[in-house]
């Protein structure tokens, strides 16, 4: 049986779809559905069991699963970069991850987990997944992910586990993320409501308004790469997962307008003070380590990915992949 935590979340539910497409249905989905609509991400998916996160953690500690688990894909976490409850983040993103990792190590179970590009902080030390020293995350979310990466490395488990530093992932099944949804999703909604897109003004002379850059990667590409990692029983280490090419917010907004056949209309607004001191003006995944591993994948361009997301999902009011 495969355990998929965060199985109703954005990336998790898309990977659940991939598992089903590959004929895998003996799956235990773990999540915390609460009153959110993300339960809809499970519609049409096949899995054997569902457990709330708290119940699952308790059963795991009581060793109720015995030898029934053969792989753990751990995508369950609080992914809010604006969450300020540090105790919550360290329990949910660190302690929970350690519980799972120790269980996997003790029972010789394949373990793949989600890290984040937020661990790189302002990028002054670069975005190489070969360097883990001296990184200074800009928010507690990134800090919680960094702490678990360090725990994995210090425990020597990077030789058997696989960690994935996700960059700016976008695509279907993210509708429930509210303020943490991608700018592709937000831009589409803005265009439909106002005919224009609002982007932040630059907070530095290094970048023009809307010229700040991110490594945007489509969730369909992401799940294909994770699938290859899952299939390779000898694959291990902590890797970046982006396209390796940064693009500006202006590029992204223009791609959404182009997908809709509308002339671009972009306005620039002041960046809120609450995020100005933790804002990443530039990210770009160094993908050389993944290439050296022998895992090769050709990522779709930003324009291709946005067009598929807009025309195959958002325009059809089809939220679920």
Res 224: pLDDT: 98
pTM over 0.85: yes
Res 66: pLDDT: 62
Q: Would you mind telling me the total number of residues written for the chain in this entry?
A: 321
Residue 10 Cα to chain centre, angstroms: 8
Res 256: pLDDT: 98
Res 237: pLDDT: 97
Helix/strand/coil (H/E/C) assignment for every residue in the chain = CEEEECCCCHHHHHHHHHHHHCCCCCEEEEECCCCCHHHHHHCCCCCCEEEEHHHHHHHHHCCCCCCCCCEEEECCCCCCCCCCCHHHHHHHHHHHHHHHHHHHHHCCCEEEEEEEHHHHCCCCCCCCCCCCCCCCCCCHHHHHHHHHHHHHHHCCHHHCCEEEEECEEECCCCHHHHHHCCHHHHHHHHHHHHCCEEEECCCCCCCCCCCCEECEEEHHHHHHHHHHHHHCCCCCEEEEECCCCCEEHHHHHHHHHHHHCCCCCEEEECCCHHHHCCCCCECCCCCHHHHHCCCCCCCCCHHHHHHHHHHHHHCCCCCCC
Question: In this structure, are residues 253 and 197 in contact, taking their beta carbons and an 8 Å threshold?
Answer: yes
Cα dihedral across residues 314, 12, 166, 78: positive or negative: positive
pLDDT tens string 275-297 = 777 788 899 999 999 999 999 89
pLDDT tens string 126-185 = 999 998 989 999 888 999 999 999 999 999 999 999 999 999 999 999 998 878 899 999
- Average pLDDT over the chain reads 93
Question: In this structure, are residues 220 and 269 in contact, taking their beta carbons and an 8 Å threshold?
Answer: no
Q: Which residues are catalytic?
A: 141, 177
Res 79: pLDDT: 76
Question: In this structure, are residues 174 and 184 in contact, taking their beta carbons and an 8 Å threshold?
Answer: no
How many percent of the chain have pLDDT more than 90? 78
* Low-confidence spans in the chain with pLDDT less than 50: none
Res 204: pLDDT: 85
Angle between helices 140-154 and 96-106 (to 10 degrees): 20
Res 67: pLDDT: 66
* All structural domains of the chain: 2-169+216-244+286-292 (3.40.50.720), 172-214+246-283+302-314 (3.90.25.10)
């Amino acid at each position: 049986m495969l355990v998929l935590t965060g199985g109703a979340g954005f990336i998790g539910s898309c990977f659940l779809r991939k598992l089903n497409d590959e004929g895998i249905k003996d799956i235990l989905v773990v999540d915390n559905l609460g009153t959110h609509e993300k339960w809809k991400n499970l519609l049409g998916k096949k899995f054997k069991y569902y457990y709330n996160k708290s119940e699952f953690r308790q059963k795991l500690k009581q060793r109720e699963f015995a030898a029934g688990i053969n792989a753990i894909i751990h995508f369950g976490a609080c992914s809010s970069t604006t969450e300020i409850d540090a105790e919550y983040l360290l329990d949910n993103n660190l302690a929970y991850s350690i519980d799972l990792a120790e269980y996997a190590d003790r029972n010789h179970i394949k373990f793949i987990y989600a890290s984040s590009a937020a661990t790189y902080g302002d990028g002054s030390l670069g975005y190489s997944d070969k360097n883990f020293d001296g990184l200074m995350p800009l928010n507690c979310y990134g800090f919680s992910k960094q702490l678990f990466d360090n725990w994995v490395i210090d425990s020597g488990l990077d030789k058997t586990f696989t960690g994935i530093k996700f960059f700016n992932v976008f695509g279907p099944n993210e509708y429930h993320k509210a303020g943490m949804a991608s700018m592709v999703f937000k831009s589409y909604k803005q265009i439909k409501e106002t005919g224009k897109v609002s982007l932040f003004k630059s907070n530095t002379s290094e970048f023009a308004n809307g010229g700040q850059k991110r490594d945007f990667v489509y969730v369909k590409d992401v799940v294909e790469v994770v699938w290859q990692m899952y299939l390779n029983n000898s694959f291990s280490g902590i890797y970046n997962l982006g396209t390796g090419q940064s693009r500006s917010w202006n590029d992204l907004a223009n791609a959404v307008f182009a997908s809709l056949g509308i002339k671009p209309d972009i306005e620039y607004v002041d960046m809120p003070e609450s995020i100005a001191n933790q804002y990443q003006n530039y990210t770009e995944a160094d993908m050389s380590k993944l290439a050296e591993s022998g895992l090769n994948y050709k990522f779709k361009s930003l324009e291709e990915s946005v067009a598929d997301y807009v025309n195959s999902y958002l325009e059809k009011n089809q939220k679920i992949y």
